[in-house]
Amino acid sequence: MIPSHTTQRDARGVPVSRCDPRSLEDFETALVRFQSYFGDPMETLDAALERDPGFVLGHVFRASALLMMSERQFLPEARRSIEQAEALGHANDRERGLITAVRHWLDGRWDRAGQAWDEVLAEEPRDALALQCGHLTDFYLGDAVNLRDRIGRVIAHWDRATPGYSYVRGMHAFGYEECHQFDRAEDAAREALELEPRDAWSVHAATHVMEMQNRYQEGRAFLKDRVDDWAPDNGLAFHNWWHLALFHIEEEQFGEALGLYDGQVSTGMGEMSLQMVDASALLWRLHLMGVDLGDRWSTLADHWQRKAPLENGFYAFNDLHALIAMIGAGRLDAAREILAAVERAARGDEPVTGMMARVVGMPCASGFLAFAEGRFDDAVTSLAPVRSIANRFGGSHAQRDILNQTLIEAALRGGQSGLATNLINERAEHKPHSPLTRRFRKHNQGAGLQAA
């Protein structure tokens, strides 16, 4: 038994309440897995807690990691873990702060959870768990400024000798990118990769920079040259493969993108919403280009429908991508059910996800459904006002570009040539060398690309 007065610290010097010393080793293993996306942190935590059920930080970590999946199905188990941590009664101040953050998330206050992690970081700026959970929460909230500044507030307390520094720099890189500070983003990502070549999040951040700067050929080469670093057995690999497919789509290499969908993006998909979101988004982009997708939509829609009874209406960003899959599969009744769930969420009392559903989810879902039904003017009416605030339901600039592409197509197919011209000109400002942009411009003289 560890004496109650014993002060223990993790590898970054952050205090941990009493536990078996082996549990601290397990925490570090799980943390690296959480940061790197190599291996399963839950497997490590479960083994540690079986041996040491009094390990408060282990229970808190387990609950926090479950919440970062952004799915309703994981809430009961996260609640059980945090209740176990609370029942132990010997959490230290730092751990109580982490518990508070989880409680806010479980109560639907994702914004307050982010603030609670910041309060922990004010006292313990090297708390890697609080930092990463806060960063991911900023992503789900679409808070680009905090994606950058949450890291900026604590980075002075880290240096190259601090365990996990590369992962912190990778998070900083992504924050810079989402704030359009591309040079600083790339510098941070490359510094991180110099320290840890197998840092998939830093690869991801650098890839975002190249996407936003029209560096498609360079981006493809970058991902392919480093594929052995980020792809094998990595939990983020499907997303980086998705980015590689986007590079191909921008250059109208649709066959290559479809091959990546089949061989990488959809491989081993199971029922994880994060991966299914990418699958839906990739197929929709190809669908807009008139690519024959065979039975892929049906297979993907089956995955989403198995989750529908529990997940519909929980997180509007996921809901939109589920609805897209139903449209692609021709299951418009199922798409309408998702829209109805989003509408119920918008009328509900969830303070954050209800706002997301109301402000962004409803108009987006309505717009995509209108597009599917050939009501292109209605699609424009729904989608046009929401583009500038779509960050409020999460995702990245690259992910939300699906709204821009769909709006352009709706304007083209609806005969709104003036609007289509303006939207294409806008796209050309950001992606002037994109063959896809030129494709949109070419089709502006007719009725658009192949009808949905």
Per-residue pLDDT tens over the stretch 356-413: 999 999 999 999 999 999 999 999 999 999 999 999 999 999 999 999 999 999 999 9
* pLDDT, tens digit (0-9, with 9 covering 90-100), for 3-47: 444 579 999 999 999 999 999 999 999 999 999 999 999 999 999
* pLDDT, tens digit (0-9, with 9 covering 90-100), for 406-449: 999 999 999 999 999 999 999 999 888 889 998 999 888 654 44
Q: Give the chain's domains with CATH numbers.
A: 1-139 (1.25.40), 142-235 (1.25.40.10), 240-452 (1.25.40)
**pLDDT at residue 190, as a whole number:** 98
pTM of structure: 0.94
Distance CA 217, CA 233 (A): 25
Contact 381, 412 (CB under 8 A): no
**Average pLDDT in the 183-196 region?**
98
Q: Quick one: pLDDT band at residue 1, thresholds 50, 70, 90?
A: very low
State whether residue 384 is helix, strand or coil: helix
Contact 322, 341 (CB under 8 A): no
- Cβ neighbours around 301 below 10 Å, total: 24
State whether residue 70 is helix, strand or coil: coil
* pLDDT, tens digit (0-9, with 9 covering 90-100), for 227-242: 999 999 999 999 999 9
The long-range contacts involving 116-125, CB below 8 angstroms and separated by at least 24 positions, are 118/150, 118/153, 120/94, 121/150, 121/153, 121/154, 123/93, 123/94, 123/97, 124/14, 124/15, 124/94, 125/153, 125/154, 125/157, 125/158
**Average pLDDT in the 85-95 region?**
97
Q: At what angle do helices 56-67 and 21-36 cross, to 10 degrees?
A: 20
Spell out the residues 6+ positions from residue 74 whose beta carbon is closer than 8 angstroms to its own: 66, 67
